[in-house]
Structure formats: C-alpha cells, structure tokens
Amino acid sequence: MLTSPNATSDVRYRCAERLRAATALLSPCRLCAHRCGVDRSRKPAGLCRASADAYLYAHSIDCGEEPSFAPSHLLYLSGCDLRCVFCIAEHASVDAHRGRPLTPELFRRLVEWGRARGARTLQWVGGDPTIHLPAILRVMAACDDLPPVVWKTAGHATVEALELLRGVVHAFVVDLKFGNAACARQLCGDANYVAVVRRNLTMLDDWGQTLVVRHLLMPGHLECCLVPTVAWLRENLPHVPFRLCTGYLPRWRARRDPQLGRLCRHDEIEQAVRIVRDSGLRPPEGLTFDGSRVA
C-alpha cells in the first residue's frame, strides 16, 4: 500500500530547498552514475545529450501495472543516460529534447488533468527521470497540490541525486535490467550498471522507502540475467516486492539482434515464473508473478 509520509506543503518545501543543490549537480554533471562531469547548465552535453531543461513527450493514465499506485498519471520525459538496445521509448530515449518543455504552468495543468481523471499518484517516467532532477524539483516546488510521487527508474543514479529525492518521492519503481556486468555492457553500455543499481536498491531500502523492483524477462537471458537477479534479491532484499515483467517486445535496435529480435517463448516464460515463485520473493500487492490479477 502506498503511503504518503509528507504533506504537500512539506514536499514543496523540500523541492524548493533542494533545487539549488540539484542544479549544482548539472555542472559538472553528477546526476547519473556515468559521472560525465560535463557542463549541462549551458547546452546539451554528456552521454544523455540533455541540457538543464526537461521535455515531456507523452503522458497517460495507467491502471495496468502496480495496483498500489493505480490509477497513476505517468509523465514521460525524453532522454536517458543508458543506451538499452531494446528500449521501448526508442527515439525519445536518445533525443532529450523531444516533446514540450516542462514548465511550472504545464506541470500544474497536467496535475489537474490527471486528478480530474481519477489519478491517485503521479509517476515520473523516461527515458529516465533522474537526469532531469533539477527541472522536476523546480516544477514540483511551484505546484501547491501535489499528489503522491512515484519515481520510475532504471536505478542508475548517483548517491547525491538519490539523497535529494529522500522525503520528496513517496515510492520508487526500479527496473533491475541485467544480472551481470557482461550483459549490461553489451545491452546498455555500462558494465558497472548492476553494481550501481544493487547499491542504490540497498540504500533505498535502508532509508525505508516504499520500493518495487522489476525485471524484464528477455529472450535468451533467463540464466544470465533473471536467475542472478532473483538470487541477489532473495539474499539481500527478500522482503521487497518483485515483479517479473513478461511482455518483452523486440523494439529499437533489438529488432536486428539475432537473440533479442524475437518474443519470449511460452516455455521461457513458464520457467521464469516458476523460478521466481520458487524463490519466495513476493509480488507487488494484487499481482501474480506473470502480471495477472489476484482474485
């Protein structure tokens, strides 16, 4: 169950209070674990090619994922610090200026739009929202009627960035994409990804954050990615809800990949579900491990 530990005024105050520190992380940039050290305050730079401004390329009401947060208003920001070959956002993940500039006025209208359609939570999505932390804090600090905020991320953030979200974000949904350094290097461009995300998950749990960990089952990556992910979670975070995502689609550059250019077979999905079920990890409230609803 999603809890809201802070009143809207408290969250707004924290956003405003931390905006200066977040802006300082843009130059030299220390928002994601690449730690490019570039100056994003003046122009697009770094691997993400993002500037100090954030751009919204889509938004929607979602009721199909984590039921504890639904209905949730998802705000999709373009740009990402990773280069996952199977990214479902495709061009929006590499073009950090796709869409409309995120302004306080636009954000207030979006909050009103979502609330009018029954949204209980607001969810920052990407790309990855962490590279846009200063812009997000800026618009949230200017909104006097914030709903509970969910941060949906690949988890590839610096400790400094995550510390600025403490007490601001009510829940984190973290996609732990890979189970080893070799697959991470090949499929997202960073061999350190797994170590970084595991560190961050442990830290968020130590803080007492509401947390959901997800893993996307990819064709041919059951033994190398799902199995070690499940084993690590079982040993280190057995109490944290885990969602196995089985809806992989061969998008973006994965279409041309001999292994990733297909859907997961039914037998692969059945084996993955069995592995997760036997691990003792618990799914998020209201879901089974294959994503179907609990009666």
Maximum separation of any 2 CA atoms in the chain, in Å:
53
In a domain, 288, yes or no: no
DSSP bridge pairs for 174: 153, 213
Find the Cα–Cα–Cα–Cα dihedral 77, 217, 204, 48, rounded to 10°.
-30
Structural domain including 153 reads 8-279
Which residue, 210, 204, 199, 193, is CA-closest to 156?
Answer: 193
The tens-digit pLDDT sequence of the chain (295 residues) is 444 445 677 999 999 999 999 999 999 999 999 999 999 998 999 999 999 999 999 999 999 778 889 999 999 999 999 999 999 999 999 999 999 999 999 999 999 999 999 999 999 999 999 999 999 999 999 999 899 999 999 999 999 999 999 999 999 999 999 999 999 999 999 999 999 999 999 999 999 999 999 999 999 999 999 999 999 999 999 999 999 999 999 998 999 999 999 999 999 999 999 999 999 999 987 554 444 443 3
Instruction: Classify residue 294 as exposed, middle or buried by CB count within 10 Å of its CB (0-12, 13-18, 19+).
Output: exposed
In a domain, 23, yes or no: yes
Distances (CA, A) of 189 to 29, 51, 259: 18, 21, 17
Angle between helices 193-206 and 181-188 in degrees, nearest 10:
110
Predicted pLDDT of residue 293:
43
In a domain, 3, yes or no: no
Predicted pLDDT of residue 27:
95
In the chain, the number of structural domains is 1
In a domain, 198, yes or no: yes
* Residue bearing tokens 């084996």: 271
Residue 163 sits in a domain of what CATH number? 3.20.20.70
Six-digit token pair at 189? 């461009």
How many CB atoms neighbour CB 224 within 10 A? 15
In a domain, 287, yes or no: no
Please state, in angstroms and rounded to a whole number, the distance separating the CA atoms of residues 193 and 218: 17
Predicted pLDDT of residue 286:
56
Six-digit token pair at 107? 């954000």
Predicted pLDDT of residue 66:
82
Six-digit token pair at 256? 């041309």
In a domain, 172, yes or no: yes
pTM here is: 0.93
In a domain, 18, yes or no: yes
In a domain, 292, yes or no: no
Predicted pLDDT of residue 3:
43
